Structure 1
Amino acid sequence: METRTTSTDVSIEIHADYVKKSYHTNIGNFPLQRVKFLRELEAYERFKKIGAEFVPNLIAYDIDLQSITLERIEGIDICEILENCSEYDLNRIIDHIIHIDSFLYKNNINCLYTSPKELIYQVEMDKLFLLDFEYTFVNEYFHQILLENIYQNPKMKRINNVRCLDEFVELSKRRLIDVEKYHYRKVKTYLLSKLGMIRKKGT
């Protein structure tokens, strides 16, 4: 078993077939930890109910210990892909992201924040998985664009292969036209932000 502490707030146990994510209960910002845990649990329960194939299966959870046990997903993340993009079809990766975005939109699931490290690609299966739903909201008004969330994420600046990064960003911008109701969602989210009806990360 491998244990990772991803922050002072969360630890992850990695086993052969499953991963256990625990939100620490003995820290000062316990109420926020509780909210993040419940948000993520709600998202995984919704995904399980509607049969989403791009997220790990929810195996178990413990309300008191604030832990979630999930199917282990192995593969490479978007950042790793962009360090050596010549080995991968970037348009195919973007196809997967757009497909996931469409599913989220049609089921009214809004991922406020998504890191490129939370998109895991299984090359042999040609399958992309989305992980981590601390900042995911079910049945809210705003509609985030997953593809924009990825290429605009600050972690993308850490990628050393500038050519691959630039290629991915340019391809992504050109492919926005393929995103489900892209312009409608952008306008709606803009108007909601003006009315103070859109969340920010950390809320």
Structure 2
Amino acid sequence: MKVVNGLGWGALLLALVLTPLFAVDLLLVYLLEDTSFRILSTLAMLGCFYLLSTILSFFVDGLTGALRSFGHVNVPRLLDTILHGIVSGISLYVVLTFFPSIDLSTFTVMAILFVHLFSASLWLNREHSKEDAPLELDSIDQQIVHLLRTETTVSCVERIQEEYPDLPKRDVLKRVKKISQSTEVTEPFHGR
């Protein structure tokens, strides 16, 4: 029951976040289309478009996240934005084929896709700025930073493991890796 409740809150939160974008799209259809349109079928079409686009966007985010994590590939923001634009285009095309009574002009479709591309770009820039924010370091992390200035990564892990035996080695490794990648700590020079 808690899972259903959590999904309900998540869907409500997602709906609240997407409501302004939904209103902009509805306004675009109203202003750019010469013919009168049925409000209920347009609302249903836009709802399906948002649902499909959101599901596919989660898939694209997972794919680019997996590339970053497993392949250590830095996916540029521009590529992320282009992928989200392609997802929006495919979603709108698929939804419009299921709603043949709604005939949007090419200009209206392009305007809707531009709005979605712009909002995806803003969202991704916000997400990347969160990732680029400096780490808040606790005492163990500060000690790791200090040790990495004078020791190798392996000896740093060993020293932290000795000082904090109840801390799992996997956590120590993650912390050291994260800190060594986020701060510009260089390995000490050991002469011959």
Range into which the TM-score falls when normalised by the shorter chain: under 0.3
**Which structure dedicates a bigger proportion of its chain to strand?**
1
TM-score if structure 2 supplies the norm length?
A: 0.26
The structure number with the bigger radius of gyration is 2
* TM score, norm. by length of structure 1: 0.25
Structure with bigger helix share is: 2
